[in-house]
């Protein structure tokens, strides 16, 4: 069964720039929460190398519903793909756009590919979906996704 995807949601791991986590770490954290492994379909570590289930990493398969925007209400995980950038916090634990150039290059390439596969999809940050659904506020992914996409000519 093919899922209908109409949203590509960008997230932050809410970690500091010096913490170089991967999908394996996120998988462990999410399992500790009682979830079925990593809730994101893609993870982009600090080095900018894409992690996905298809590449053998501990990410959610594209065919499976993610676990990344449950706070926004029923149905959103079913219709979206979750992309997590590692980083997003400064040394004091406050939101900060501290992603590497390599991460942004990877995100740009990934979104270009995904928009070919899912051409009717909207690209947004988790915080944008939160505003839309009136869920409790978060800074995730700690940068303005819509502004960045506009600058890149995406969506």
pTM of the model: 0.96
Residue whose pair of structure tokens reads 């999410």 in the numeric block: 30
Residue tagged active-site, from 64, 104, 138, 152: 138
Report the 10 Å Cβ neighbour count for 63: 10
- Which residue in 130, 71, 81, 137 sits closest to 107, CA to CA? 81
Of the candidates 7, 40, 72, 106, the residue annotated as catalytic is 40
Q: Say whether 41 is catalytic.
A: no
The confidence score (pLDDT) of residue 35 equals 87
Dihedral-angle region of residue 121 (phi above 0 means left; psi in -120 to 50 means alpha; beta otherwise): beta
What integer is the mean pLDDT of 115-136?
Answer: 96
Average pLDDT value for residue range 131-142: 95
Q: Is 126 a catalytic residue?
A: yes
Which of 7, 30, 68, 126 is an active site residue?
Answer: 126
Tens digit of each residue's pLDDT (9 = 90 or more) over 90-117: 999 999 999 999 999 999 999 999 999 9
Classify burial at 27, counting beta carbons within 10 Å of its beta carbon; exposed 0-12, middle 13-18, buried 19 or more. Answer: buried
pLDDT digits (tens, 9 = 90+) for 33-84: 998 999 999 999 999 999 999 999 999 999 999 999 989 999 999 999 999 9
**138 catalytically annotated:** yes
Annotated catalytic residue 53: no
Known catalytic residue at 78:
no
Give the integer Cα–Cα distance in Å for 43 and 13.
9
Place 155 in a pLDDT band, splitting at 50, 70 and 90.
low
């Amino acid at each position: 069964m093919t899922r209908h995807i109409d949203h590509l949601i960008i997230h932050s791991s809410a970690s500091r720039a010096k913490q170089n986590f991967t999908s394996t770490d996120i998988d462990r954290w999410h399992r500790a929460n009682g979830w079925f492994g990593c809730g994101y379909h893609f993870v982009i570590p600090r080095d900018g190398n894409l992690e996905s289930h298809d590449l053998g990493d501990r990410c959610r398969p594209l065919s499976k519903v993610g676990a990344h925007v449950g706070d926004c209400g029923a149905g959103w995980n079913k219709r979206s793909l979750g992309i997590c950038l590692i980083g997003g916090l400064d040394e004091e634990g406050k939101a900060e756009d501290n992603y590497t150039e390599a991460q942004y290059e990877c995100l740009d390439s990934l979104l270009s590919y995904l928009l070919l596969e899912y051409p009717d999809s909207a690209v947004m940050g988790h915080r944008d979906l939160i505003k839309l659904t009136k869920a409790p506020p978060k800074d995730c992914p700690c940068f303005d996704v819509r502004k960045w996409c506009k600058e890149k000519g995406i969506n």
